[in-house]
Amino acid sequence: MDVPGFALITGGASGIGRACAATFARDGAAGVAILDVDHNALAAVKAEIEEQQTKQTSSSRCQVDTYTVDVTDEDQVIQTVKAIVSKFGRLDYVVNCAGIAMKHEGGAAYAKTSDWQRILDVNLTGTFFVLKVAAQIMLEQEPIHSAIDGRPLQRGSIINFASIQGVVGIPLSTAYAASKHAVIGLTRTASEDYAAKGLRINAICPGYTETPLITNNPAVMKAMEERVDTAVPMQRLGKPQEIADGVVYLAGGRSSFVTGSVLMVDGGYTQR
């Protein structure tokens, strides 16, 4: 893969974000900043990536930094992104992966307004806060060059996490599906605004993926085990690494003519 430069990943302490951080570090990033609310898990992921690097044959090492941040707090987000840029010198990739999920018993008619608001705050507004401050920085910097053939690539590349529930509805998923549909809307309009300036913005839509978001929820896990054969054409859950591979594709030079796109990585779920 071709991801020279510096990456910022939100929600990087667990699941897909964690796999993304490890993949950027392995595939040539000079630095990875990992943001999450979970302070202890951040320390573990940093240690894991540093251990991974000791086994790599390449002599170049990726700088791994962690930041305990709540993406719903705009001031925290602004201060953290500024601190990262002053340390790294620039910011080439942003992966907006932090997210939470919840079902509402009885659907929209009975959903608690506080639950609705919390899901939108993390999944949509958090993504907006990070995109906003990162885009301001990226639009002012010179384009990065490909590590493979030296051609100028983008000024920056932002990947927002939507979901299969960004394009289809799933029972009782009122706020989550609404937030993920909105993330795709944000991605599309922002990609239009900045495409001519060399800032690429895309969305990725994972299908059901084996992470704590699912495995820590016995009801969802049980439903998955019952339905996976019929609901998912590939008849299995995705692995975090399979989603991270899509993210790194959207980030780097292999996707230099791709913006405003929505990449489904879902084992065929949405085509069915």
Residues that bind ligand NAD (CB under 6 A): 10-11, 13-17, 36-38, 41, 69-72, 97-101, 122, 126, 161, 163, 206, 208-209, 211-214
At closest approach, how far in Å is the CB of 100 from ligand NAD? 5
Around 205, how many Cα atoms within 13 Å sit in the side-chain half-sphere?
Answer: 24
Backbone phi and psi for residue 157, each to the nearest 5 degrees, phi listed first: -140, 125
Which of 122/251 has CB closer to ligand NAD? 122
Number of other residues whose CB lies within 10 A of the CB of residue 146:
15
Which of 137/221 has CB closer to ligand NAD? 221
Place of tokens 């929820």: 217
* Choice among 67, 180, 208, 249 that is catalytic: 180
Contact 194, 160 (CB under 8 A): no
Sign of CA dihedral 16, 22, 24, 30: positive
The DSSP 8-state label assigned to residue 238 in this structure reads B
At closest approach, how far in Å is the CB of 129 from ligand NAD? 10
Which of 25/101 has CB closer to ligand NAD? 101
3-state secondary structure of 10: strand
Query: Does residue 93 have an active-site annotation?
Result: no
Which of 198/206 has CB closer to ligand NAD? 206
The total number of residues written for the chain in this structure? 272
- Residue 108 to residue 236: CA distance in whole angstroms: 29
Query: Does residue 46 have an active-site annotation?
Result: no
Which of 147/214 has CB closer to ligand NAD? 214
At closest approach, how far in Å is the CB of 207 from ligand NAD? 6
Picking from 164, 154, 261, 243, the residue whose alpha carbon sits closest to that of residue 203 is 261
Contact 42, 50 (CB under 8 A): no
At closest approach, how far in Å is the CB of 104 from ligand NAD? 16
Sign of CA dihedral 112, 118, 123, 125: positive
* Choice among 176, 194, 249, 269 that is catalytic: 176
At closest approach, how far in Å is the CB of 134 from ligand NAD? 15
**Annotated active-site positions, please?**
176, 180
